[in-house]
Amino acid sequence: MSKVHSYDAIVVGGGHNGLVNAAYLAKAGLKTIVLERRHLVGGAAITEELIPGFKFTTFSYALSLLRPEIVQDLELVSHGFMVLPLGNTFQPGYNGEYLALGSDPDANYHEIARHSIEDAEAAQDLNHLISRMARAIKPWMDRIPPNRLSSDPVDVSALQELETYMDQLDPEVRHFIEKCITSSIAEILDEYFETDLIKAMYASSGIIGSRCGPRDQESGLVWLFHKLGEYDGVPGGWGFHKGGNGGFTQALARSVEGFGGEIRTNAGVDKILYEEGRVLGVSLQDGSRLKADLVVSALDPRQTFTRLVDPTDLPEDLVAHIGNLKFQGTAAKVNFALSSLPVFPGLEGHEDIYRGFTNIGPSIDYLQEAFSDCKAGTFSRRPFLDCCIQSTVDQGMSPPGKHIMSCFVMYTPYQLKESDWDAERENLAETVESTLAHFFPGFSDLVLHREVVTPEDIEDLIGLSEGNIFAGELFKSQLFLDRPAPGWNQYRTPIEGYYQCGSGTHPGGCVSGGPGWLAAQQIMGDKGL
């Protein structure tokens, strides 16, 4: 009979939140192990050399909402943490028009003024308001949210504190937050801008990874969420990790091990072991068992509550709520290996425009029509593309003179109405390639290799239900006090000693580390550490 190994803490899932959580627990002195079913850790934040010399960020490829406290607490710099700024945004328009924005506010003012002086002034006002809004919301993104169903004086007091805090905000900021929660991003931007291209550039953050169009009410809140970003302590900024997001999660893995934690790959967990409402450990898919009185699931809520444990052992209202959560994956990836950089007519030789994001979505109408295809059960004929040529800022990602390009593709439904992804995989790739060729003539001639990642692939490979990259839509009913469920938004579960720390918990998706960090705080508080 094989020996049953014992730990203080078991973390199920080696995505970035699981690694963050494990590092904090190990740092606190707990004998901690991370169990990852794949051959490498990182979850959606990995880098793979799929063809010689070309390193692909298979799934997620940018850092934004990463908390600087995590970088400091976990000593990530000493483990290779290095963020490269992605300060540029290039937005092609119709008939050769474009926006090329960078990190210089004065240069950006003049770039927008080429289209409209009024819009240039409005952009300054809006950017300032966004910054004020982010500063106002950040304190509540970085703390364990209160339980609105609890009668505990601590929770009652925290709810009262939240209400008072909102009431005392500057009226302009409070009104803007309320508008983002109740309005579409198109409605908001119509109040500021007259130029379609500028509206589209701002609107893209309101549809990323979510099943909503820019004219749908939910888009305002999705947009607000993405505007709370920062990288390496830079508010509102986005960055690219040296070596891709896999470089980031490898730094996290080294942090876990540096604090004495253990990481085991090819170790899929079959189920959580518990008795009389208290966790005992885990059973692995190979039949082995590990003991611990603390188990943390870094998986999404559907897997945490309905796969790893028997749902009949949980409160009926919790199970019903989890069953009604909206996942609705609508995101795919197409990654390219390129022989050289694309060329935009009139900007030949301006390689600096690619040192950041390239957005293909010239107007609000374009974005809404792309969503209409999705609602009809097919992928978009002219999709919104959020692209990044990482090799322009990290030459080690590709051979000299060549490049890799990540294309985040909206809208690609998890379930196709009249076909399936086995049949449509290459059709999606052709659609993305032809869309890029429309704006960058000759693009197809540059393609050396392409890789397609469908929503089904995202679910199958990294376990995100329905391929939803945020582990649940970033809608009002699925955030903050209600993420993932009312009464269970503080990382605990009904099984004593069983916790959750995935992106399906507060503060939500993106490569933030926030759920792993806050869950660790809750666990250590419960244990008196």
The band of 85, judged by pLDDT with boundaries at 50, 70 and 90, is confident
Report DSSP state, residue 47: -
Give the pLDDT mean for 92-113.
94
Q: Are strands 230-231 and 403-410 parallel, antiparallel or unpaired?
A: unpaired
Average pLDDT score over the chain: 94
Lowest mean pLDDT among 257-271, 280-294, 345-359, 424-438: 345-359
Mean pLDDT of 33-51: 96
pLDDT confidence tier of residue 2, bands split at 50, 70 and 90: low
CB contact burial 129-160 (16+ within 10 A = b; e otherwise): bbeebbebbeebbeeebbbbeeeeeebeebbe
Q: What is the largest CA-CA distance in the chain?
A: 77
Rounded average pLDDT over 81-89: 87
What per-residue confidence (pLDDT) applies to 470?
A: 93
Burial classification of residue 2, based on how many CB atoms lie within 10 Å of its CB (0-12 exposed, 13-18 middle, 19 or more buried):
exposed
Mean pLDDT of all residues in 67-83:
94
Predicted pLDDT at 1 = 44
Please determine, for residue 33, whether its predicted confidence score (pLDDT) is greater than 70: yes
Specify the pLDDT at position 66: 82
Question: For 364, what's the count of Cα atoms within 13 Å in the CB-facing half-sphere?
Answer: 20
pLDDT band at 329 (very low <50, low <70, confident <90, very high): confident
Output the pLDDT for position 286: 95
Q: H helices within 394-454, ranges in order?
A: 421-439
Q: Hey, CA dihedral for 12, 18, 19, 25, is it positive or negative?
A: negative
Please say whether the beta carbons of 19 and 41 come within 8 A: yes
Q: What whole-number percentage of the chain has pLDDT above 70?
A: 98
> What are the structural domains of the chain?
5-45+70-82+242-325+474-527 (3.50.50.60)
* Res. 232: pLDDT tops 60: no
In sign, the C-alpha dihedral spanning 337, 385, 408, 89 is positive
Distances (CA, A) of 265 to 287, 462, 482: 15, 13, 32
Percentage of the chain lying above the pLDDT 90 cut: 90
Give the pLDDT of residue 230: 63
**Whole-number Å distance between alpha carbons of 333 and 143:** 32
Residue holding tokens 């609105």? 148
pLDDT at 130: 93
Residue 431, pLDDT > 90, answer yes
pLDDT reading at 471 higher than 60 = yes
Residues 148-167: tens digit of each pLDDT = 999 999 999 999 999 999 99
User: Which pLDDT does position 4 carry in this prediction?
Assistant: 79
Name the region of 161 (left: φ>0; alpha: ψ -120 to 50; beta: rest): alpha
Q: Of 81, 73, 80, which is closest to residue 20 (Cα–Cα)?
A: 73
Give the per-residue pLDDT at 89: 93
Average pLDDT (483-490) is 97
Q: Is the pLDDT of residue 307 over 90?
A: yes
Q: Label residue 313 by pLDDT band (50, 70, 90).
A: very high
Chain segment 192-220, per-residue pLDDT in tens: 999 999 999 999 999 998 999 999 999 99
Q: Per-residue pLDDT for 235 more than 80?
A: no
pLDDT band at 67 (very low <50, low <70, confident <90, very high): confident
Q: How far apart are CA 309 and CA 243, in angstroms?
A: 37
The mean pLDDT of 104-118, rounded to a whole number, is 96
Tokens representing residue 479 in the block:
């955030």
